[in-house]
Chains A and B, each alone.
Chain A
Amino acid sequence: MQNISLHNYQDFLLRYIDEELDLRETEALLAFVALHPAIAEELESLQSTKLDIEVISCPNKAVLYKNIFPVILEPETIVYPYKQKLFKKEKEKAPVVLLKWWAVGAAAVFLFMMVRYGMLDQKAASTMSKNSISKNKVSTVPTLSVIKNNPTINNTTTNNAVANTGSMAATKVVTDIKNNTSNAMEYSTAQNIEHQSIPTVSTVTARETAQNMPSYNGDIIDVKPTIIAEITVPSTTINDEPTEYIETIDTEAASSNRSVMVGAFEIDKDKFRGLFRKVNAIIKNKENNKNEK
């Protein structure tokens, strides 16, 4: 501790006013002041320079706070008057559909097949009906002659599916009937007897006889009975005669359904389906290979 003297007392006085002296220095200064009244007056004058604490409030202290007094703006409805001018309508664009090439190709082939099949089915149906009509024409021509010659047995001849009317047996029957119109029982008997041979002949030789029939004038004079004699008629086919004929017709229709006309070429549908399946199998294999990679 530095000793207080007349040379350094002022520093001690100022430090005392600033409250920078410790307890021992304070006691030493007060003792020194007590010994020197002039210094006591000087101390009093220096103490008058010390400012009294004033309470001054900051006027805008609320501005300094953060997030304690949030300013909430009341909702205000302001309508922009030209809002209608701001609306825009974008031009419609065609949707972009990304398809794989094989899918597009398969779809095209499928559509082509559908269209083609549908058309061909209609054609097949029409051709089938035409064929049946033509067959009926071929078969009905003699029948009409029979009917013309003997209208009374129209039902019996038609019921026998007389596509075989071109046969010699039929003509013979008709001839017999023509000659024996008075005896109905005999006719029926004869018809029944001869009827058994009709389908057999028709199934085997219908086309031949149709081709060999040079002309038809309503008379059956040109018929050669020798042809019949050449054909052996199995006894088992007697009852199956109409069925066998129908089957022949069905077979032709089925064959026409199986074939597809592609331009001038006739393609079997089954083969075409097989080809289509093979193509699908190849495409699926490629797709699987891609997925595995």
Chain B
Amino acid sequence: MTEKDYNESVLLYADNVYRFIVKNLRHTEDAEDIVQSAFEKLWIHKESVETAKAKSYLFTVAYHLLIDHTRKAKRISLQESFENDTQTIYQENKALKKVLHDALATLSETQRSLVLLKDYEGYSYEEIGEITKLTTDQVRVYLHRARLKLRNYLISPQQVL
């Protein structure tokens, strides 16, 4: 990968990686840090990364950074309210979307990541498995459980009322 390819990867994939991270973390600053770390790692290893696999590499790095960040945040019992975050960049215009994103918050990190990778990035089970270091069957099972959980959340009586 050349310098030009790297900069093109920034142009093409930075928003995607950021969206993936910010939807998981619900914290823009931490998401920016993770995205920056992911691209820094890509720059360092640009000689060994093929251009065609740059996106997958970025999501892999970002996912593991996300896991590390989440575990670290759990250890220090950092509780930040997504609703109180003043730097949230997106706003819910529709109630359904808001409920859906609330439902996402109820998922585990792995499930949420799988849903995000599947719905936002369109990765296949195999590609998601490569990114998350899971088998294809694991991806499929975890993802199906996440879907059912989201559906149950959406059709729950509180949400209906």
* Residues on A facing B (Cβ under 8 Å): 11, 14-15, 17-20, 45-46, 48-61, 63-68
Contact residue among B10, B144, B147 (Cβ-Cβ distance under 8 Å from A61): B10
The answer on a CB contact under 8 Å between A66 and B7 is yes
B96 to chain A, nearest CB (A): 7
List B contacts of A19 (CB < 8 A).
Answer: 122
Determine whether the beta carbon of A20 is less than 8 Å from that of B90: no
Dominant secondary structure of chain B at its interface with chain A? helix
Which residue on chain A has the smallest CB distance to residue B143?
A: A18
Among candidates A49, A55, A58, A65, residue contacting B35 with C-beta atoms closer than 8 Å: A58
Say whether A51 contacts B35, CB under 8 Å: no
Contact in complex: B3, A51 (CB < 8 Å) = no
Q: A51-B100, A51-B115, A56-B90 are in contact. Are A46 and B151 (CB under 8 A)?
A: yes
Q: Is the CB of A20 within 8 A of B14?
A: no
- State whether B118 touches A54 (Cβ < 8 A): no
Contact of B124 among A17, A20, A57 (CB under 8 A): A20
The SS class assigned to the A binding surface is: loop
- Chain B residues whose C-beta falls within 8 Å of the C-beta of A17 in the assembled complex: 147
CB within 8 Å for A56 and B147 given contacts A65-B7, A68-B7? no
B3 close to A56 (CB less than 8 A): no
Contact between A49 and B154 (Cβ–Cβ < 8 Å)?
Answer: yes
* B144 A58 Cβ-Cβ under 8 A: no
Q: Which of B15-23, B49-57, B73-81 contacts A (4 or more CB under 8 A)?
A: B15-23
A41 CB, min distance to chain B CBs, angstroms: 10
Which residues does chain A contribute within 8 Å of B131, judged by CB atoms?
A: none
Interface 1/0 per residue, B84-96 and A, CB below 8 Å: 0000011000001
**Please, how many angstroms separate the alpha-carbon atoms of A51 and B111 in the complex?**
13
Chain A residue with Cβ nearest B122: A19
Interface string of B1-17 (1 = CB under 8 A from A): 00100110011001101
- A51 x B120 contact (CB < 8 A): yes
Indicate if B32 sits at the interface (CB-CB under 8 A). yes
| 5 cross-chain CB contacts under 8 A | A48-B96, A49-B103, A51-B116, A61-B10, A65-B10
Q: A58-B15, A61-B10, A66-B7 are known contacts. Are A46 and B147 too (CB-CB below 8 A)?
A: yes
B90 close to A54 (CB less than 8 A): yes
B59 interface contact, C-beta 8 A: no
Tell me, in angstroms, the Cα distance from A60 to B10 when the chains sit together: 11
What are the residues of chain B within 8 A of A15 when measuring CB–CB? 140
Enumerate chain B residues within 8 angstroms of A56, measured Cβ to Cβ.
Answer: 15, 18-19, 22, 89-90
Known contacts: A18-B143, A60-B32. The answer to whether A66 contacts B151 by CB under 8 A is: no
Is B119 a contact partner of A48 (Cβ separation < 8 A)? no
User: Taking A45-B155, A59-B32, A65-B7 as contacts, is the C-beta distance between A14 and B90 under 8 angstroms?
Assistant: no
Known contacts A14-B148, A49-B103; 13 additional CB pairs below 8 A are: A18-B143, A49-B100, A51-B100, A51-B120, A55-B15, A56-B15, A56-B18, A57-B15, A59-B18, A59-B32, A61-B15, A66-B7, A66-B43
